[in-house]
Every structure is written in structure tokens, then in C-alpha cells.
């Protein structure tokens, strides 16, 4: 007799419960803004990826509403059959100009984009070289590919070189890295990765989910930030974080775009974005190009917050970006820290094993351009007070 499914689900959940790993959803009763309402209380929000405050920006909302009026609510088909509207093409052309590449293709999400791209550009006999801290969607993309995957130690150029040396291929060698790593907020050494890859004839792919809209001129991303325009074959990223709506993009050659249109299963077999999503993304691109002050504000806020957290005697783990982890140590303490922050009016989640290594549990905060000085001051004072209560800082 086969096992009863409900029994298995219940037993898995109680295992997670015992290990303090069970996830429960936090429900927002307000838009995604620097102050959110949760459980009837107003909390300063340090938990979103809403870097530029675009999730509820009036320009994006207006574009979205106008698109609903003009184009309706649903795309009604996959892109390759009847689901490509003029709006979709317009976004892709603008994005290509913004990213300084020949062409882009927009997919439903950043997650879908990694599944699409890795599987389309590799086949049996190829080798993928992946930083060990790359995002789950890259890991799953590699699993779907028939190519072999070799992981290299985080940001370790000796390890990358060693991996390339020991795993030669007559096919494609594809080196993949996040542009900014989502747990530590550190930046990939892209110029050195490009240099090592060049020596082995390898192709570089960077995932700019946390870098697009954050690094580079007007938020053009890691490649622009490092002065590597034209030297990274494949840029992917999300339109769901800094860009405020939803989606993923692949940016590179015209052939890359055409290959994806012809082979990428998430593109071929899943309905395209509703017009409102696409229109709000076009508005987002227009907005960053005419509002450099957004990027300045994001970075000024980031510097101010990091300096204050360090001055409070806490460890931000070498973060170089608006993603600012605060090292706590044990997972229990990190979860307790997060609970106490909430009672003091601050929403900042804790991360423990297996999301991050054992002993490296942390509070992960993300600073945005939309936070005011007063909000940052209040958040810092709450964090300092909880750190004292828990004897993590003097
Ligand atoms: C968030 C993230 C994604 C997924 O993007 P979505 O648009 O949310 O699906 C992919 N890659 C990296 C590195 C990410 O941080």
C-alpha cells in the first residue's frame, strides 16, 4: 500500500517545526512601501527589494492603469502564438538600449529567465561553472541543463581558474555569477572573472537581480558599473526588484534573443506578461533615466545606515550594497532579534541555516531610496536597543 499523502505532509511540517525552520507567511495590509501595515501595526520596512520605491510609484501606477484601459488585463496567449503586443516589443527595445546590448528578451520572472537561458545556451558535453553562492534559480537552471555543472568557491579566482583547468570541454564553457550576492550584499569580482574566462575561451553570464537598478550609471547594472560594456556575453536579471513590477530579462546578442524565442520552454509554454506589467516597466525605465537623484538617494541612505549600524558595534559582514546583513550568530537569537524589532516598530527578517551557513544567522535588511532620514534613524535606534537587550553590543 502506498503511503497516505496527508500523513507525509503533516510529518514533514512537524519536522520543520521542530528544527525551527517552518516558514509562515507575513501578510501586508498595505502597499509595498517604506512603512507597511502588518497585524494592524505600522512598521518601518527593511525587508523588501523595492530599491527605488517603484512598487507604488505614481508614474508606474498611472502607466499601469492606462495600459489596462487601452490593452485589457490579460495577454491571452504565449508570446510565440498571439501573446506579443507592441508594448512587449517596446519594452525589449528600450531595455536593449539601456543595457547597451543588441537585443533583450523579457520573460515572466527572473526565476523563469535562468531556467530559460541556461538550458537554451548549453547542451550535453558543455560545462557550467557556477559560484557556490549563486541564486537558487541558477542552481535549478543548471539542474535542467544536460551540461555538467562545476561549482567554484565563492568569489575565489584561484578556484575558478582551477575548475576551468581541470574541466576542459570542446563545447561551451559557461561561467555564471550573481552580480550582487543576495545574502551578504557583496559584489562579484566581474573584471577578474571576465579575465580568467577569456583565457579559457569561456562565456560569462551575470545575474543582475540585485544589481540592476542599483549599480552602474542610472542603475544599468554590474557590467556598466565595472566598465565591461561589450565584454559579458549574457546579462540576466529581474524586473521584480528595483524595477518595481515583475519579470526577468536576458540581454545580449540578437542571436541569443532569437535562440530563446525558439527554444526556451518558459517562454514557449507560459503566457506572457499582462499589459499593465509591461507598461509599468517601460515607465520605470523612463523614470530612472530622468531621475539620477533616485540612485543618489539609494546610495546616500545605504552609506548612512551602514555607518550607523557599524557605529552601534554590529557587524555588516562586508556588505557593499543596499543589502545590509547584521550578523547575529545563532539562528534562535536572530529570530528573537527580529521579533523584538517588530515590537519596536521595525520589520526586518531573520535568516538562519539552511538559507545561510550555521553560526552565520543574521537579520537581513535592504535599504531603499524611499526611506526618509527619520525612518532610518528610528530603525537604527531600535536595532541598537535590541542588540543591547540581547547583549550583542555594548
Ligand atoms: C530574486 C532573484 C531571482 C528571481 O527573480 P524573480 O523575478 O523574483 O523571479 C533570480 N536571480 C537572483 C540572483 C535573484 O536574487
- pLDDT digits 0-9 by tens, 99-148: 999 999 999 999 999 999 999 999 999 999 999 999 999 999 999 999 99
Strands 148-152 and 127-131: parallel
Which of 141, 147, 134, 135 lies closest to 115, judged by CA?
141
The whole domain housing 359 covers 20-49+292-389
Centre of ligand 1 to C-alpha 235, Å, is: 13
Q: Are residues 205 and 224 in the same domain?
A: yes
Q: Is residue 319 part of a domain?
A: yes
Q: Are residues 285 and 296 in the same domain?
A: no
Question: What is the number of domains present in the chain?
Answer: 2
Q: Are residues 126 and 215 in the same domain?
A: yes
Which of 334, 321, 318, 328 lies closest to 368, judged by CA?
321
Residue nearest to atom 5 of ligand 1 (CA): 110
Q: Are residues 37 and 75 in the same domain?
A: no
Q: Are residues 224 and 302 in the same domain?
A: no
- At residue 46, the 3 state secondary structure works out as coil
Q: Is residue 394 part of a domain?
A: no
Q: Are residues 152 and 93 in the same domain?
A: yes
Which CATH number is 179's domain given? Answer: 3.40.640.10
Centre of ligand 1 to C-alpha 241, Å, is: 8
Q: Are residues 308 and 251 in the same domain?
A: no
User: What was the pLDDT predicted at 35?
Assistant: 98
Considering 241, 273, 306, 360, which one is annotated as catalytic?
Answer: 241
Q: What per-residue string of b and e applies to 33-62 under the rule 16 or more CB within 10 Å gives b? A: bbbbebeeeebbbbbbbbbbbbbebeebbe
Q: Are residues 296 and 286 in the same domain?
A: no
Alpha-carbon span 150 to 158, nearest angstrom: 14
- Atom index in ligand 1 nearest the CA of residue 111 equals 9
User: What was the pLDDT predicted at 353?
Assistant: 84
Q: Are residues 298 and 332 in the same domain?
A: yes
Tell which of 290, 312, 344 closes a domain: 290
Residue nearest to atom 15 of ligand 1 (CA): 209
Low-confidence ranges of the chain (pLDDT < 50): none
User: What was the pLDDT predicted at 355?
Assistant: 84
Which of 240, 231, 249 lies closest to 210, judged by CA?
240
Q: Are residues 245 and 316 in the same domain?
A: no
Q: Are residues 29 and 178 in the same domain?
A: no
What contacts 264, CB < 8 A, 6 or more positions away? 105, 107, 115, 116, 117, 119, 120
Which CATH number is 319's domain given? Answer: 3.90.1150.10
Dump pLDDT digits (tens) for 240-263: 999 999 999 999 999 999 999 999
Q: Are residues 176 and 266 in the same domain?
A: yes
Supply φ then ψ for residue 339, to 5 degrees: -60, -45
Tell which of 246, 262, 290 closes a domain: 290
Q: Which residues line ligand 1 (CB under 6 A)?
A: 109-111, 114, 135, 137, 178, 182, 207, 209-210, 238, 240, 248
What contacts 370, CB < 8 A, 6 or more positions away? 33, 34, 50, 52, 53
Amino acid at each position: 500500500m502506498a503511503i497516505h499523502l496527508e500523513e507525509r505532509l503533516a510529518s514533514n511540517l512537524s519536522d520543520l517545526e521542530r528544527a525551527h525552520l517552518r516558514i509562515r507567511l507575513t501578510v501586508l495590509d498595505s502597499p509595498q512601501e517604506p512603512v507597511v501595515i502588518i497585524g494592524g501595526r505600522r512598521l518601518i520596512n527593511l525587508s523588501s527589494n523595492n530599491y527605488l520605491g517603484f512598487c507604488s510609484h505614481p508614474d508606474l501606477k498611472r502607466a499601469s492603469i492606462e495600459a489596462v484601459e487601452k490593452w485589457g488585463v490579460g495577454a491571452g496567449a504565449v508570446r510565440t502564438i498571439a501573446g506579443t503586443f507592441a508594448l512587449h516589443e517596446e519594452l525589449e527595445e528600450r531595455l536593449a538600449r539601456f543595457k547597451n546590448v543588441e537585443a533583450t528578451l523579457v520573460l515572466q520572472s527572473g526565476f523563469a529567465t535562468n531556467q530559460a537561458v541556461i538550458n537554451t545556451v548549453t547542451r550535453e558535453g558543455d560545462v557550467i561553472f557556477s559560484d557556490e553562492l549563486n541564486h537558487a534559480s541558477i542552481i535549478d537552471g543548471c539542474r535542467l541543463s544536460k551540461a555538467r555543472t562545476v561549482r567554484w568557491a565563492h568569489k575565489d579566482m584561484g578556484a575558478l581558474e582551477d575548475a576551468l583547468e581541470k574541466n576542459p570541454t570542446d563545447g561551451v564553457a559557461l561561467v555564471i555569477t550573481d552580480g550582487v550576492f543576495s545574502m551578504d550584499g557583496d559584489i562579484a569580482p566581474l573584471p577578474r572573472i571576465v579575465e580568467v574566462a577569456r583565457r579559457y575561451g569561456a562565456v560569462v553570464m551575470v545575474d543582475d537581480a540585485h544589481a540592476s537598478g542599483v549599480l552602474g550609471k542610472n542603475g544599468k547594472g554590474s557590467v556598466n558599473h565595472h566598465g565591461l560594456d561589450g565584454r559579458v556575453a549574457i546579462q540576466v536579471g529581474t524586473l521584480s526588484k528595483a524595477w518595481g513590477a515583475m519579470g526577468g530579462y536576458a540581454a545580449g546578442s540578437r542571436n541569443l534573443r532569437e535562440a530563446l524565442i525558439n527554444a526556451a520552454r518558459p517562454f514557449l509554454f507560459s503566457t506572457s506578461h499582462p499589459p499593465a506589467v509591461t507598461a509599468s516597466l517601460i515607465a520605470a525605465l523612463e523614470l530612472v533615466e530622468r531621475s539620477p537623484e533616485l540612485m543618489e538617494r539609494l546610495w546616500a541612505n545605504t552609506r548612512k545606515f551602514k555607518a550607523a549600524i557599524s557605529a552601534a558595534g554590529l557587524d555588516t559582514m562586508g556588505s557593499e550594497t543596499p543589502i545590509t546583513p547584521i550578523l547575529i550568530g545563532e539562528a534562535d537569537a536572530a529570530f528573537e532579534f527580529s521579533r523584538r524589532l517588530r515590537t519596536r516598530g521595525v520589520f526586518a527578517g531573520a535568516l538562519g541555516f539552511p538559507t545561510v551557513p550555521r553560526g552565520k544567522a543574521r537579520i537581513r535588511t535592504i535599504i531603499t531610496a524611499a526611506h526618509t532620514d527619520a525612518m532610518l534613524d528610528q530603525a537604527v535606534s531600535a536595532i541598537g536597543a535590541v542588540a543591547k537587550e540581547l547583549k550583542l553590543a555594548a
